[in-house]
Structure 1
């Protein structure tokens, strides 16, 4: 079930650039993934997965999100994360990973070159991250 808030963001994204949304996954498959991987994904990201299991935004130079069924699949042991407190759920075109903090709603970008997460690239939840994509990608809204 997709909230009204997420529907509005999806509609806005569709207007603004080339997007590839993948087939949705189910709540049951997300629960199985979390149980098998011993992780808890952020609730707003789980809501996204029930709309699009991964996807690509603002092609060709945007971001890619990972899913639990469609490749690339979330790898909870991805080595591009700063430490075990994070799960990589996507990547910017630059290669910098998009992270979710384990057992938290927070989403962040890991600046691999600098070896840190910038304060202005930490988002309270996945919805806040989606709302900031224009600024993050430097494409203006």
Structure 2
């Protein structure tokens, strides 16, 4: 995950927040749900932030605002958690109890097949494609 973070830092303007501590992640998960393992690994490096500024995406954290809100209404259904958003407003969601990361087209009310990623690492590796960079 650190390699991906370092690679991203070289690809455009980014604003990474300080990483969350293990205690902050555990406290958040104890009060909410378990996040995908790769996303929690990412949170240890960057607890939220803005990537590919000015028109990229924002990732949410567990200790830095904006905080992940498991009740965010901008998701397909209750089996998903919003962990970020594209500049277009489309939320980045993870499926509860899964490593799956998706982009939810909230206007159309669908998740496109080509916007479903097996895990957070796959999502990060495709960011340039997602954003049309």
Q: CA deviation at 1:29?
A: 1.4
Say which of 9, 12, 19 aligns to 2:7. Answer: 12
Say which of 108, 132, 135 aligns to 2:129. Answer: 135
Q: CA deviation at 1:75?
A: 0.4
Report the TM-score, using the length of structure 1 for normalisation.
0.92
Residue 16 of structure 1 aligns to a residue whose secondary structure is coil
Answering whether residue 95 of structure 2 is matched by residue 94 of structure 1, we say: no
Answering whether residue 30 of structure 2 is matched by residue 35 of structure 1, we say: yes
Q: Which residue of 2 aligns with 1:3?
A: none
Report the TM-score, using the length of structure 2 for normalisation.
0.98
Q: What is the count of residue pairs matched by the alignment? A: 133
Matches for 1:1-141 after TM superposition, within 5 Å: 6-37=1-32, 39-139=33-133
Tell me which stretches of 4 or more aligned residues in structure 1 moved more than 4 Å: none
Q: Which runs of 5+ in 2 are unaligned?
A: none
Q: Which runs of 5+ in 1 are unaligned?
A: 1-5
How far, CA to CA, are the matches of 1:94 and 1:11 in structure 2? Answer: 25
How far, CA to CA, are the matches of 2:85 and 2:38 in structure 1? Answer: 18
How far, CA to CA, are the matches of 1:8 and 1:49 in structure 2? Answer: 14
CA RMSD in angstroms, aligned pairs only: 0.7
